[in-house]
Chain A
Amino acid sequence: MLKNIKFYLDNASVDWMGIVSLVIFFLFFVGLVLYVFVMKKDQVDMLKNIPLSQDDTNESNSEHYEN
């Protein structure tokens, strides 16, 4: 398979595309991982509790709806 990739990259003048896609993806993903590692715990807790922090009446007695 690698031989095929090399053949087409060499012959179809599209070598820059493979490199561009790899670079874009790599940079983006590294940036993303770095970001989530430095996120503060209180931020994360606040965000993850958004669905549960509602005061609509249904939620106070959720056991009532156990099924």
Chain B
Amino acid sequence: MELQKFKYDNKIVSMFAFATMIWGLVGMLVGLIVAIQIFNPGFLHLEFTTFGRIRPLHTNAVIFAFVGNGIFMGYYYSIQRLLKTRMWSDTLSKIHFYGWQLIILAAALTLPLGYTTSKEYAELEWPIDIAIALIWVVFGVNMLMTIIKRRERHLYVAIWFYIATFVTVAVLHIVNSFELPVGLFKSYSLYAGVQDALVQWWYGHNAVAFFLTTPYLGLMYYYLPKAVNRPVYSYKLSIIHFWALIFIYIWAGPHHLLYSTLPDWAQSLGTVFSIMLIAPSWGGMINGLLTLRGAWDRVRDNATLKFFVVAITAYGMATFEGPLLSLKQINAISHFTDWTIAHVHIGGLGWNGMLTFGILYWLMPRLYKTELFSTKMANAHFWIATLGMLLYAIPMYWAGFTQSSMWAQFTEAGTLMYPEFLETVTNLKGLYALRALGGALYLGGAIMMVYNLVMTVKKGTLEKEEEAEAPALVGEYKAHKGDHWHRWIERRPIQLTIFATVAILIGGVIEMLPTFMIESNVPTISSVKPYTPLELQGRDIYIREGCVSCHSQLVRPFRHETVRYKGEYSKSGEFVYDHPFLWGSKRTGPDLHRVGQKYLHSWHYFHMANPDDISKGSLMPAYPWMFTNDLDVETTPAKIRAMQKLGVPYPEGYDQIAVEDLRKQANEIASSLLEDKAVQYDFAERSQGNLADKEIIALIAYLQRLGTDIKQNNQSPETQIKK
């Protein structure tokens, strides 16, 4: 058969490789900064660099910039070779590359400025969401068209993982990003309360599944056999791994909402499918490790293989731990603590980080037709990264167990052993410092790698267009006797895409529809009323500052929580006007759902001005700009109208008088505050103008409202200011 000559596009692979290296360093550096801020809140303390604003910058940078570019680097190299063809369109490849980098830049600018939806790993505001969808489609079209015009009849299992990733991420991103814009960089989620939580964690969990796992499994199935120069241990196992994984993963989201107000049947469904996930995940891990059978001697002096081994092992550990954490009894201990942080970093630093490093060490010398600058340095990087990862994770596990135990401990007299939440955090400072050291080591290793690879690139030359040849794929495939349906689907990318889409839709639909369609799943409470305009503005400041990064708003039905937070556990009906929900996922500070009316206005005033003055040793940063910034009231009518469109029952025409109401409430709070001489003196010192016009007043209004709708006989503030 006649061989066709063509050229692989290596330039695009190299571009994504550099992007993943640069953004990797940026994302890890921001991670190190937030790790230091958590035990030293004064570190780099500017309005735009507070923990609440740059923690999402860290997560977005490492997920979408470091891992994202890593995925595309791995894809563009392997797709062309697995399909024996050049990418379908060089132009689309370039649009994809530059578009993705622009999105990352937009994220790096908007998140510190406080433009955020507050939904984890989906913080970017609506114009950027649209850009992500468009660029994702550009990538998908280019990939699918390349598959269609391929020269290799059968689609290797890595390609299935790539296809499933494309389809599922598109579905997740679109469904979770339904939001109503109220300005250029502000929107409200279309969903509220428990429904918003369900959609968000269906997204959040599957972002882990389909952005951090399936694409990297695809990469594992390609790069591991290449690096070790032998085929995958069991191709049959890889087929089961693929279908079982994509089918089961999508159901597991509700395990992030155990003991929340989500209907119990949905929580149980999440738990059951999470347990089932062990099977395909470990199937994949075993398949990866057994691919190295007979080649373990090469691991000793081959840095790429070392990174792969640790990556696959970390994948196994994280996917064993994940199901354990979704057991209600264990989740009761781990949730809202640093245990979760340890868990995700075993996945992030171990699985994604190590696999990316391994691929980079394998790929760059090949792209640049030279040898690696320093094998010794690569091996040193491996040990530093492994040590860094352990030094990161172990203190976090310790911190998680410690804090959870301290929360739940009662004295013999039946009172909380550690009634001050602060005690349970300050106790962890040393562990937080160790974690930062672990992170610094890991970053140090990555810097060594970038240096090593830059030196490698300098001594080589990029083979931008790599010559290749393969016979054309012509004519109809003649089925052999005894061929099976799966063999049929392996030749048909479109059908495979449709099958994969159906597999991932079933779980999401069965979980979400009942919560949206059946009213009994979200019981309403008649005393729950919409936020006042001032409270709504205060809530938006709470969102802007990323308070949700450290404070949950969900009192779980445990005795130690209802005693600690002095109120009932949270009910679904309390959140029906919360667009978006703000339950959070981590308690570095206490839960705030029952904080309303607990303290005096002046307590909040001084606490926001300098938390350390009120709670000695507090790890919360100060927010002095809220005392000088005037509240932007002009946005109020548009926000009220948006809420009305979302079904929040403000009276018709309320947008017209909302500002008047807002000012009235602000004046009441400000004059009550100014009765206190200490406030008068402090405000005169730190700001100018009218206290009622400042952002702090809106925030206090919101905090004082929290959780009070179902509090009986609105109790008076019981804690007096200690100053």
Contact = CB atoms under 8 A, between A and B. Distances in A.
Given A25-B247, A32-B243, A36-B240, A51 B226 contact: yes
A65 B487 CA distance: 35
Interface stretch (B336-344, B478-486, B549-557): B478-486
Contacts of A18: 265, 269
Contact of A32 (B225, B239, B365): B239
B229 interface: yes
A52 B226 contact: yes
B328 interface: yes
A66 B82 CA distance: 22
Given A32-B240, A52-B226, A5 B265 contact: yes
A49 B229 CA distance: 10
B560 interface: no
A12 B572 CA distance: 15
B154 A50 contact: yes
Contacts of B466: 56-58
Contacts of A52: 225-226, 229-231
A12 B248 CA distance: 24
A64 B460 CA distance: 14
B359 to A, nearest CB: 12
B469 A55 contact: yes
Given A32-B243, A50-B156, A67-B375, A12 B520 contact: yes
B234 to A, nearest CB: 8
A29 B403 CA distance: 41
Contacts of B507: 21
A12 to B, nearest CB: 6
Interface in B139-161: 152, 154, 156-158
Nearest to B482: A40
B302 A54 contact: no
Given A33-B240, A67-B372, A8 B226 contact: no
Specify the main secondary structure of chain A where it touches its partner: helix
Most B CB contacts (10 A, CB to CB) among A4, A14, A17, A64 go to A14
Nearest to B367: A58
Given A24-B506, A29-B244, A44-B235, A50 B263 contact: no
A13 B520 CA distance: 10
A36 B487 CA distance: 11
A23 B470 CA distance: 45
A57 B10 CA distance: 14
Nearest to A50: B156
Interface string A33-51: 1011111100111111111
A14 B265 contact: yes
Contacts of B701: none
B663 interface: no
B303 A38 contact: no
Contacts of B263: 8, 12
Interface in B287-344: 301-304, 328
A61 B243 CA distance: 35
B154 A4 contact: no
B704 interface: no
A54 B366 contact: no
Contacts of A48: 225, 231-232, 235
Contacts of B647: none
The 9 closest A-B pairs by CB, nearest first: A48-B235, A36-B236, A48-B231, A50-B156, A67-B372, A8-B265, A8-B264, A44-B235, A67-B375
Interface of B: 8, 78, 81-82, 84, 152, 154, 156-158, 221-222, 225-226, 229-232, 235-237, 239-240, 243-244, 247-248, 251, 263-265, 268-269, 271, 276, 301-304, 328, 361-362, 365-366, 371-372, 375, 378, 466-470, 482, 484-487, 490, 503, 506-507, 510, 514, 518, 520-521
18 contacts: A4-B268, A9-B265, A13-B520, A14-B265, A21-B510, A29-B244, A35-B484, A38-B484, A39-B484, A43-B487, A48-B231, A51-B158, A51-B222, A51-B225, A55-B469, A56-B466, A65-B366, A67-B302
Given A12-B263, A25-B276, 10 more contacts: A9-B265, A32-B243, A35-B484, A39-B236, A46-B154, A47-B235, A50-B154, A51-B225, A54-B81, A65-B371
Interface of A: 1, 4-5, 7-9, 12-14, 17-18, 20-21, 24-25, 28-29, 32-33, 35-40, 43-52, 54-58, 62, 64-67
